A and B are shown apart, each in its own frame.
Chain A
Amino acid sequence: MLPLIVVVPMLGAAVAALLPAGRLPWLWATAVSWFMLWAAAGLAAQAMDLGVLSYWMGGWAPPFGIEYRLDPANALLALLIALLAAVVLPYAGPSLASEVPERKTPYLYAALLLFLAGQMGISVTGDAFNVFVFLEISSLATYTLIGLGRDRRALTASFSYLIMGTVGATFFLIGVGLLYALTGTLNMADLAARIPAVAETRTVHTAFAFIVVGVCLKLALFPLHLWLPNAYTYAPSAVTALMAATATKVAIYVLVRFIYTVFGPAFAFGDMPTAHLLVPLAVIGLLSTSVVAIGQGDIKRMLAYSSVAQIGYMVLGIGMATALGLTAALLHVFNHALMKGALFLALGCIAYRLGTTQLAVFPGLGRRMPWTMAAFVAGGLSLIGVPLTVGFISKWHLVLAAIELGWWPIVAVIIVGSLLAIIYIWRVVEVAYLQPAEDPGRCEAPLALLVPTWILVGLNFWFGIDTRVTIGIAERAAAMLTVGLNGGAP
């Protein structure tokens, strides 16, 4: 089952490319995504039962062969990717039909499936070089998908992401190459065992720096985020939703995996000044991009900047180097995917009806598209962190982690970040509900779009109230990843 979750979408992409243009590729991709969800749910349950699932590619035993390895940390991620894919792909059909020419559909869905295969591959593989391969697969697919946006600026957005993504991947590859030269292995678990012996060499330090910076580029850590707003803004709506919900999260996971598993927290936070780099950048990033978000006229762009800010929260949790901080970061990975997914899907509904997501078309939308705007408000509440939404859960843990460390200024930063989120969400709500419409005609989005949107909204509340699954997995994952933390640092 473990390799199938990667192989099926990859082969599925090839099939999709061969299908005739029209609805067929979409239906096929949807079916594949539902299979992925089914498989991921089963695997996650197994991983929680057994602790670790391992599969040897071609029967070659690790560290020589490629190992697929599932533990609670990436089980959560695999579940997240599959869940979002299964919700967004049904939505993608009508939404993309309005934004992308029909003759391109086979390649469009092939790219989408490749993207998913790459994301899933990164999350389940236990091999450092394999991470690079899948990173490139999903990135190449992403460049294509962004370029399909109807605005011609999508092309430059895609191009600049291509350059930056390639640089990031190359940095990552350089780091992995240095590690391979030093230790002769690419298996993550094996690397983790061998690095302590050579931890005092400059090669390891350099490898670490290259990997961290390369991954931070992919996850759009401030100030390496400049590619993201354009990419999110000009990509087709459904693609943005999927990317915002999963792509940066996978990069976050890679960062966590390399810092905590491969190099080990003792090395990453003791030997290397990781926290000195990550925490300030996360703080500045989450404040400054939140402020930038307030000034945006295009709501999609506003949410893109907000995504960068939210990434700041996750990196902050990672940089805290405590079990609680890491729990908060992992929770926010999951929760933010739900809230941003819901928000971008709601925006997709608006783009579907009105052709744009500029704030200028929002007056009166509260009455014109009541269900869509209600979904937007609910997603916004979650983003702000109102109790009983997922946003509250992750911010609660993040504040707990900061208090535990006695980092009071960070507590203040988190609070200010929430206040800034209130301001930029409120701007939209005020215009949509309190300003009169120029054209008062009702133009609610079709059910095919509303149902997936509301499923995500519902999940925002579901996982905001019943936190057993998310907190359970996140705590186990964090406990497992931070084993070497206590007393390990010099």
Chain B
Amino acid sequence: MFELIIPPAFVMLIGAFLVAVSRPGLRPLIALAAPLVTLYAIWQIPDGIQLTATFLGYEVQVVEGGPERRLFATVFALMGFGGVLFAFRQAKWYELAAAMAYSAGAIGVSFAGDLIVMFLFWELMALFSVIVVWCGGTFGSKRAGIRYIIMHLLGGIILKVGIEGIMIHTGSVEIRPLALDNFDTWMVFIGILVNAAAPPISAWLADAYPESSPTGSVFLSAFTTKTAVLALMLLFPGQPLLIWIGLWMIFYGIIYALLENDIRRILSYSIINQVGFMVVAVGIGTEMALNGAAAHAFSHIFYKALLFMSAGAVIYQTGRHKCSELGGLFRTMPLTTICGTIGALAISAFPLTSGFISKSLTVSAAAGEHMTLVWFLLVAASAGVFLHAGIKFPWYVFFQRDSGLRPKDPPWNMQAAMVLFAVVCIGLGVFPELLYGLLPYPVDYVPYTAEHVITQSQLLLFAGLAFFVMLPLMKRTLTISLDLDWFWRVGWVRLFRGFEALLGGLQRAASALAFGLLRRFSGELMRHHGAEGVLARAWPIGSMLLWVAVLLAVLLLLRYVPEAGSP
């Protein structure tokens, strides 16, 4: 039977376009409806290649269904809805439209049937996400946006070269597992890892996300890195190198988050840390591990968005974004406190939260493969996650000493979005089969065994104990971390300034060289003609004619000089 397949990404893009052009009164309606219609479209797509088109002279596969693709697209669409709900009364219309187009890019990548389509949506994400960063509207966000787009354009170019190489050398751009055995696949690998914020360029994430608006960072937290995880799942499952890259990201995220003072930078480093877990899972590459990566991405997007929403709500209400300036907000922002805490519990994988049922898949997969060291590091990292995101974030923002601030809870739409996501975090934790049913491979894993619950609770308990025992120490590091933080940021600025100066210098040198050469020629000719004015203006003709003669001579000489001419 003929059935019309509508690419879900296009639904979202049309929504973004309508938001951009419609009257202000209609905007919220369209913005809220578009992700839901998209979600419906996502669930209409059966497995397999569904829609092809002709582009660049090739038959490209615009839509290909599959369980992991559907899972990621679903969470992206839900995220789009939650983000819009959180933002629609506060964000500018162009931020909303850009964020929706950005999510359309992520959904498009999810369903991309071949590398060309993937690349197109990849670039779409880069373009619109930088607009979201710029919507921060500050001087800092402008500069951070430029650094961000440079990084992503470079990543995109690397990816593109890799894809073209694969196309020339194998003749196929199907999305299928690739082996890292030649230059082309390495380029694709690196291009994807740029978006996953892998070392050594993890810094772009924590550089750009905190500079966006309080609403923009909610969107930014969800899409770019998770599409990269999906791409890794589809293209490089079981690539052992990914385990070590992922572990590096996990510990990088923890350490920098512990040193950090800006609340959204803490959460940004925490994204890198969480994506590290997923990358490790992809690297392990067993069915269970891939399930773990997918499940973790799914639940991570909700709790991380929830955390960014609570941080955004705090920033929106108080205008402050440093741990050292906040505190004691639980008195007047009870709902934000509760939701933020739920997010913090979920990221730390407390029992009965979504983190508990998803992260353990990865850890168990490492154990199942007898990767003792990896397993040990993952468990240790779980405690670290609790330290930096599970306790540090809510403690410094909502509790600790009283900062004297008395802000109210944020507007109703922000509250609604937070409650919605908090319910999802708890709901998934209580009913894990909801998520497990969506996973690409059958799950025979029971998260709520006595042993698992007890182990995890002990781990968290001791980590929590450690936090409060070391609280004085943490406070001391706070001042140090402020210094470090300052140094780090200034270091970056210096580095970029240096780079810019270098470019500027090169450009000046190049044009000086060009001008110098021309001036030499003109000098010669001027001496002949001896006048300025008309003749000075006419000199280029002379030098041009000289070049003509030179080229003619070269072309003929090359022909007749032995061994220099024909190859």
Q: What residues make up the interface of A, taking CB atoms closer than 8 Å to B?
A: 156, 159-160, 163-164, 167-168, 171, 205-206, 208-210, 212-213, 216-217, 223-224, 226-227, 230, 270-274, 276-277, 288, 291-292, 294-295, 386-388, 393, 396-397, 399-400, 403-404, 411, 415, 418-419, 422, 434, 465, 467-468, 471-472, 475, 490
By a CB distance below 8 angstroms, the chain B residues around A271 are 559, 566
Cα(A425)–Cα(B98), bound, Å: 21
Min C-beta distance of B566 to chain A, whole Å: 6
Q: Are the CB atoms of A212 and B538 closer together than 8 Å? A: no
For chain B residues 106-120, which have a beta carbon within 8 Å of chain A? 119-120
By a CB distance below 8 angstroms, the chain B residues around A472 are 57
Q: Are the CB atoms of B551 and A163 closer together than 8 Å? A: no
For chain B residues 134-169, which have a beta carbon within 8 Å of chain A? 142, 153, 157, 160-161, 164-165, 167-169
Cα(A276)–Cα(B56), bound, Å: 30
Cα(A216)–Cα(B548), bound, Å: 9
By a CB distance below 8 angstroms, the chain A residues around B540 are 160, 226-227, 230
Cα(A205)–Cα(B557), bound, Å: 11
By a CB distance below 8 angstroms, the chain B residues around A212 are 555
Cα(A270)–Cα(B559), bound, Å: 10
Q: Are the CB atoms of B511 and A291 closer together than 8 Å? A: yes
Q: Select B127's contact among A213, A216, A386, beta carbons within 8 Å.
A: A386
Q: Select A273's contact among B54, B127, B566, beta carbons within 8 Å.
A: B566
Interface assignment of B123: CB less than 8 Å from any CB of chain A: yes
Cα(A352)–Cα(B168), bound, Å: 47
Min C-beta distance of A4 to chain B, whole Å: 32
Q: Are the CB atoms of A213 and B548 closer together than 8 Å? A: yes
* Given A160-B538, A226-B543, A467 contacting B161 (CB threshold 8 A): no
Min C-beta distance of B227 to chain A, whole Å: 16
Which residue in chain B gives the minimum CB-CB distance to A273?
A: B558
Taking residues whose C-beta sits less than 8 angstroms from the other chain, chain B's interface range is: 35 or more
Min C-beta distance of B140 to chain A, whole Å: 14
Q: Are the CB atoms of B514 and A273 closer together than 8 Å? A: no
Cα(A472)–Cα(B157), bound, Å: 26
Cα(A50)–Cα(B105), bound, Å: 42
Min C-beta distance of B93 to chain A, whole Å: 15
By a CB distance below 8 angstroms, the chain A residues around B164 are 396, 399-400, 403
By a CB distance below 8 angstroms, the chain B residues around A164 are 541, 544-545
By a CB distance below 8 angstroms, the chain B residues around A224 are 544, 547-548, 551
Cα(A270)–Cα(B566), bound, Å: 6
Q: Are the CB atoms of B544 and A404 closer together than 8 Å? A: no
Min C-beta distance of A67 to chain B, whole Å: 29
Cα(A434)–Cα(B120), bound, Å: 28
Q: Are the CB atoms of A288 and B555 closer together than 8 Å? A: no
Q: Are the CB atoms of A422 and B153 closer together than 8 Å? A: yes
Q: Are the CB atoms of A291 and B510 closer together than 8 Å? A: yes
Interface assignment of B537: CB less than 8 Å from any CB of chain A: yes
By a CB distance below 8 angstroms, the chain A residues around B567 are 270
Interface assignment of B565: CB less than 8 Å from any CB of chain A: yes
By a CB distance below 8 angstroms, the chain B residues around A404 are 168
For chain B residues 495-554, which have a beta carbon within 8 Å of chain A? 507, 510-511, 514, 537-538, 540-541, 543-545, 547-548, 551-552, 554
By a CB distance below 8 angstroms, the chain A residues around B57 are 467-468, 471-472, 475
By a CB distance below 8 angstroms, the chain A residues around B566 are 270-273, 490
Q: Are the CB atoms of A399 and B161 closer together than 8 Å? A: yes
By a CB distance below 8 angstroms, the chain A residues around B469 are none
Q: Are the CB atoms of A467 and B544 closer together than 8 Å? A: no
Q: Are the CB atoms of B555 and A291 closer together than 8 Å? A: no
Interface assignment of B4: CB less than 8 Å from any CB of chain A: no
Ordered by A's residue number, 5 sampled pairs between the chains whose C-beta atoms are within 8 Å are A160-B541, A205-B556, A209-B555, A216-B551, A227-B544
Q: Are the CB atoms of A205 and B142 closer together than 8 Å? A: no
Cα(A288)–Cα(B142), bound, Å: 29
Interface assignment of B124: CB less than 8 Å from any CB of chain A: yes
By a CB distance below 8 angstroms, the chain B residues around A276 are 558, 565
Q: Are the CB atoms of B55 and A292 closer together than 8 Å? A: no
20 further contact pairs, Cβ within 8 A, besides A160-B538, A209-B555, A471-B56: A160-B544, A163-B541, A163-B545, A206-B556, A213-B548, A213-B552, A223-B547, A226-B544, A272-B559, A273-B566, A387-B124, A396-B164, A403-B169, A404-B168, A418-B157, A419-B153, A422-B153, A465-B55, A467-B54, A467-B55
By a CB distance below 8 angstroms, the chain A residues around B168 are 400, 403-404
C-beta contact mask, B295-311 vs A, less than 8 Å → 1, else 0? Answer: 00000000000000000
* Given A156-B537, A387-B124, A273 contacting B543 (CB threshold 8 A): no
Interface assignment of B473: CB less than 8 Å from any CB of chain A: no
Interface assignment of B373: CB less than 8 Å from any CB of chain A: no
Min C-beta distance of A295 to chain B, whole Å: 5
By a CB distance below 8 angstroms, the chain A residues around B123 are 386-387
Top 7 A-B residue pairs of the complex, sorted by shortest distance between their CB atoms: A273-B558, A471-B57, A209-B555, A213-B552, A387-B123, A223-B547, A226-B544
Cα(A411)–Cα(B119), bound, Å: 18
Q: Are the CB atoms of A411 and B161 closer together than 8 Å? A: yes
Interface assignment of B450: CB less than 8 Å from any CB of chain A: no
By a CB distance below 8 angstroms, the chain B residues around A295 are 507, 511
By a CB distance below 8 angstroms, the chain A residues around B548 are 167-168, 171, 213, 217, 224
Min C-beta distance of A421 to chain B, whole Å: 11
Interface assignment of B1: CB less than 8 Å from any CB of chain A: no
Q: Are the CB atoms of B507 and A277 closer together than 8 Å? A: no
C-beta contact mask, B235-248 vs A, less than 8 Å → 1, else 0? Answer: 00000000000000
By a CB distance below 8 angstroms, the chain A residues around B120 are 387-388
Cα(A230)–Cα(B544), bound, Å: 13
Min C-beta distance of A203 to chain B, whole Å: 12
By a CB distance below 8 angstroms, the chain B residues around A217 are 548
By a CB distance below 8 angstroms, the chain B residues around A163 are 541, 545
Which residue in chain B gives the minimum CB-CB distance to A490?
A: B566
Which residue in chain A gives the minimum CB-CB distance to B555?
A: A209
Q: Are the CB atoms of B551 and A387 closer together than 8 Å? A: no
Min C-beta distance of A451 to chain B, whole Å: 19
Q: Are the CB atoms of B555 and A277 closer together than 8 Å? A: yes
Q: Are the CB atoms of A387 and B119 closer together than 8 Å? A: yes
Which residue in chain B gives the minimum CB-CB distance to A324?
A: B168
For chain B residues 157-203, which have a beta carbon within 8 Å of chain A? 157, 160-161, 164-165, 167-169
By a CB distance below 8 angstroms, the chain B residues around A399 are 160-161, 164
Cα(A462)–Cα(B259), bound, Å: 50
Which residue in chain A gives the minimum CB-CB distance to B549?
A: A213
Q: Are the CB atoms of A292 and B538 closer together than 8 Å? A: no
By a CB distance below 8 angstroms, the chain B residues around A160 are 538, 540-541, 544
Q: Are the CB atoms of B511 and A400 closer together than 8 Å? A: no
* Given A160-B538, A295-B511, A415 contacting B161 (CB threshold 8 A): yes
* Given A160-B541, A167-B545, A171-B548, A400 contacting B167 (CB threshold 8 A): yes
Min C-beta distance of B154 to chain A, whole Å: 8
Cα(A488)–Cα(B164), bound, Å: 28
Q: Are the CB atoms of B551 and A213 closer together than 8 Å? A: yes
Cα(A295)–Cα(B504), bound, Å: 10
Min C-beta distance of B19 to chain A, whole Å: 17
By a CB distance below 8 angstroms, the chain B residues around A434 are 142
By a CB distance below 8 angstroms, the chain B residues around A288 are 510, 514
Which residue in chain B gives the minimum CB-CB distance to A388?
A: B120
Q: Select B56's contact among A168, A403, A467, A490, beta carbons within 8 Å.
A: A467
By a CB distance below 8 angstroms, the chain A residues around B124 are 387
Q: Are the CB atoms of B556 and A209 closer together than 8 Å? A: yes
Which residue in chain A gives the minimum CB-CB distance to B127?
A: A386
By a CB distance below 8 angstroms, the chain A residues around B167 are 400
For chain B residues 404-434, which have a beta carbon within 8 Å of chain A? none
By a CB distance below 8 angstroms, the chain B residues around A270 are 566-567
Cα(A334)–Cα(B540), bound, Å: 30
Cα(A419)–Cα(B552), bound, Å: 32
Which residue in chain A gives the minimum CB-CB distance to B142?
A: A434
Cα(A446)–Cα(B65), bound, Å: 48
Cα(A198)–Cα(B499), bound, Å: 56
Most buried by A among B169, B545, B555, B556: B555
Cα(A159)–Cα(B222), bound, Å: 60
Cα(A171)–Cα(B55), bound, Å: 42
